[in-house]
Amino acid sequence: MDRQKFRLLFERGEVTLYEWVPTRLGIHAIADEAATRTLCDLFPGARLDVTDVYDGRERRCRGRQQAIDVWQMLDLTVGEGIAKYHLYGELLRAMMRDQVAWIRDSDHQRKVTEHNGRASLEMAIEADRVASGCL
């Protein structure tokens, strides 16, 4: 029953990531045609639902004291139907392949190094300290 949800809020929408190692991503946003195309290019195969269309004066809004031309409100979803533990297993296999490649060839540039591990541990210790109220 473990699950995580991370929601990042922006002035034109929100991004929601699901699970500790994200398996699914949702974007709820207002966008023009170019921004919509960029999102679809970034996430090929994603499901795109246009939930509202704006025209005329409805298209004009402001953010950070700048005019924004909004064409539509959209929901974009990526990763539906991916089994969490299958993805976790593939990530673990990829990490092991990367480490074995480095063992065989020390010039191989690893994605995860002992430096990443130490930095992650330091961040976790600091987060625990802050969460415990030991500022």
Number of domains in the chain: 2
The pLDDT value recorded for residue 133 is 78
Residues 74, 45 within the same domain: yes
Residues 29, 65 within the same domain: yes
Residues 34, 90 within the same domain: no
CB 22 within 8 A of CB 29: no
Residues 66, 22 within the same domain: yes
Residues 21, 61 within the same domain: yes
CB 79 within 8 A of CB 24: yes
Residues 93, 46 within the same domain: no
- Helix ranges restricted to H, 1-135: 33-42, 84-104, 114-131
Among 33, 59, 78, identify where a domain stops. 78
Is residue 74 helix, strand or coil?
strand
pTM: 0.69
The pLDDT value recorded for residue 62 is 78
Residues 126, 63 within the same domain: no
- Return the number of other C-beta atoms located less than 10 Å from residue 27's C-beta: 21
Question: Distance (Å, rounded) from C-alpha 132 to C-alpha 135?
Answer: 8
| Residue-level pLDDT, tens digit, the chain, 135 residues | 677 899 999 989 999 999 888 889 999 999 999 999 999 999 999 999 999 999 888 888 877 788 888 899 999 999 888 888 888 899 999 999 999 999 999 999 999 899 998 999 999 999 898 888 765
What domain range includes position 100? 84-131
The pLDDT value recorded for residue 39 is 95
Residues 9, 58 within the same domain: yes
Residues 10, 49 within the same domain: yes
